[in-house]
Amino acid sequence: MNPPDARAGPADDRALRAFDRSLPMALLRAREAVMSRFRPILAEHGVTEQQWRVLRALSSAADPLSVGDLSEQTFLLGPSLSRMLASLEERSLIERGSAADDARRAVIRIAPAGRDLVATIGPESEATYRHIADALGDDALDSLYDLLERTAATA
Amino acid sequence: MNPPDARAGPADDRALRAFDRSLPMALLRAREAVMSRFRPILAEHGVTEQQWRVLRALSSAADPLSVGDLSEQTFLLGPSLSRMLASLEERSLIERGSAADDARRAVIRIAPAGRDLVATIGPESEATYRHIADALGDDALDSLYDLLERTAATA
DNA sequence: TATTGTTATACTCTATAACTATA
DNA sequence: TATAGTTATAGAGTATAACAATA
């Protein structure tokens, strides 16, 4: 019955653990747990998860960002961003211009309506965050952030 | 200059920390770090991230799974799965049947070619996993899994 | 020539509703 | 009537290549 060196079969313990102990899956499960609470809030306000990442990046940035900066921070590709920025601009959630010193480089900032949206959604999402923070405890949450950062740094 | 109770402005420390300390973003960054190494391997073998999740779930399961089971385990919606399973079946990577006791319920298992694919990709991905495990250390990795599981459990 | 961003194109996944067939 | 799965449809994101404008 499935010797240790057999090719992994359906009931093989290693195979079972492999899926359960897959780092991408563990990260996905945790993220889904968080996002399942958060997505309905975003949907109510007519923004997708990816659009929200853009708005959050812009609202947190001290200075306007280029498309390249945004791409790096939000993990969205250029073509996706191009279309998305056009749509967000049409909705007056962001503003676009060109860099003074380099006409190729775009200069993107959050617009007042975008900041309002972030300010509206923020408090609503806080309850979700508090629920998770309370469930884990502050020390565990700190550890989690630390470990996630270290994992990200391995890229 | 931005009193503590001011609405978050571009240079506001809380806003900065908010994006940096966003749990969804931290989870995404970590996951992207892992997947950026793994995705090329999957692409070389002609499977998407989501298809890989299905194949892994099936290869790890002791018994055949229903579409509903798969949906739960892979975080894919029914319609996505329906199309994907048709495509995987056409490629002989999975096999489908009906449950003996309930003709509505599908019975899906991995096919030999699918198991071969998992067996081929597995070792290739092991190098990626070892790199991360070495960078973090075994204790940290254990902690990470534990914290991710606890986070997932809050859903 | 290299870089920044956009446009083009094809494919995949998301999301909701309507539908089929069982139970 | 309720459940399991599929089909229909619309929209959004992924990915690569080709392109325009600028450096």
* pTM for the full predicted model: 0.89
Question: Is the separation of the CB atoms in A24 and B35 below 8 Å?
Answer: yes
Q: Is the CB of A67 under 7 A from strand C?
A: yes
Query: B106 pairs with which residues across the strands?
Result: B98
Q: Tens digits of per-residue pLDDT, A120-142?
A: 999 988 888 999 999 999 999 99
What is the mean pLDDT of the segment spanning B42-54? 96
Question: Is the separation of the CB atoms in A85 and A122 below 8 Å?
Answer: no
Q: Tens digits of per-residue pLDDT, B89-121?
A: 999 999 999 999 999 999 999 999 999 999 999
* A34 has pLDDT over 50: yes
Residue written as token pair 């001011």: B6
User: Does the CB of B82 have a partner CB in chain A at under 8 Å?
Assistant: no
Whether A21 sits inside 8 A of B145 (CB atoms) is: yes
- In this complex, the residue with its CA at the shortest distance from the C1' of nucleotide D15 is A77
Whether A129 sits inside 8 A of B75 (CB atoms) is: no
Q: Which nucleotide is nearest to A74 (CA to C1')?
A: D13
C-alpha distances in Å from residue A141, one per residue of A23, A80, A87, A134, B42: 18, 32, 35, 9, 32
Nearest Cα residue in chain A from B131:
A154
Q: Tens digits of per-residue pLDDT, A77-126?
A: 999 999 999 999 999 999 999 999 999 999 999 999 999 999 999 998 88
The pLDDT of residue A7 is 35
In this structure, the number of other CB atoms found within 10 A of the CB of residue B37 comes to: 17
Nearest CB to B34 within list A23, A147, A150: A23
Token output for B62: 């002791």
- In this complex, the residue with its CA at the shortest distance from the C1' of nucleotide D13 is A80
| Confidence band for B53, pLDDT divided at 50, 70 and 90 | very high
The percentage of chain B sitting over the pLDDT mark of 90, rounded to a whole number, equals 81
Q: Tens digits of per-residue pLDDT, B12-44?
A: 444 544 677 899 999 999 999 999 999 999 999
C-alpha distances in Å from residue B25, one per residue of A30, A77, B80: 12, 16, 25
Distance A87 CA to C5 C1' (A): 16
Q: Which of A30-34, B26-30, B106-110, B123-127 has the lowest mean pLDDT?
A: B123-127
What's the CA gap between B103 and B84, in Å, rounded? 21
Report the amino acid identity of residue B65: L
Chain A contact set for B1 (CB, 8 A): none
Chain A contact set for B150 (CB, 8 A): 135-136, 140
